Amino acid sequence: MPDGDDRERHVCGDCGWIHYVNPKIVVGAVVTYGDKYLLCRRAIEPRSGYWTMPAGYLEEGESAEAGARREADEEACADIVIDSLLAVYSIPRISQVQLIYRAVIERPEFAAGPESQEVALFAWDEIPWDEAAFPSLHWALNQHRAVIGVASYSPFANPEGWNGDRTPA
């Protein structure tokens, strides 16, 4: 444990350099075209073959917004326009912080990128909920509907899927 710290860290025995292991930052977007949602069927693990929103790890030296746009381009060949930050999900059990934006595509021009098997627009009642790759897809889509005033939703009001510390399970 380094002097003045409160937990064990990896410390070089020769020079004393401290290697901090910090959570990964995931950036993504709930992307819409009209009243439809753009989803990607994953072509990579984890959860290959399941549907998600365009999202992935933020790169060093990249702004969160630029990362969300890059992920949409990589996974859905989509040029998105970000409107605002939709949600921040803190998931300690997998050491992730997710920044999810609201975004639109201005034209329905998209295609599967190298990390996607297919990409499609879904009306709300067509979303393949049972084939969602991650719980964050449910959280973000429901939160998006609440923000645009179509439904009410508070992930904190629904203890199922949330830890006692008010973070996603």
Q: Which of 98-102, 133-137, 148-152 has the lowest mean pLDDT?
A: 148-152
> Given a cut of 90, is residue 51 above it in pLDDT?
yes
* Residue 34 pLDDT: 96
pLDDT of amino acid 149: 82
Q: What pLDDT digit, counting tens, does each position of 123-132 carry?
A: 999 999 999 9
Confidence (pLDDT) at 2: 86
pLDDT tier for residue 154 given thresholds of 50, 70 and 90: low
How many angstroms separate the CA atoms of 2 and 89, rounded?
A: 30
pTM: 0.85
Residue (of 94, 103, 74, 96) closest to 26 by Cα position: 96
Residue 97, amino acid: V
pLDDT in tens, 29-38: 999 999 999 9
Give 144's DSSP letter.
Answer: H
Rounded to an integer, what distance in angstroms lies between the CA atom of residue 81 and that of residue 78? Answer: 10
Instruction: Look at strands 96-104 and 81-91 and give their pairing.
Output: antiparallel
pLDDT at 1: 86
Q: Can you list the domains of the chain with their CATH numbers?
A: 22-147 (3.90.79.10)
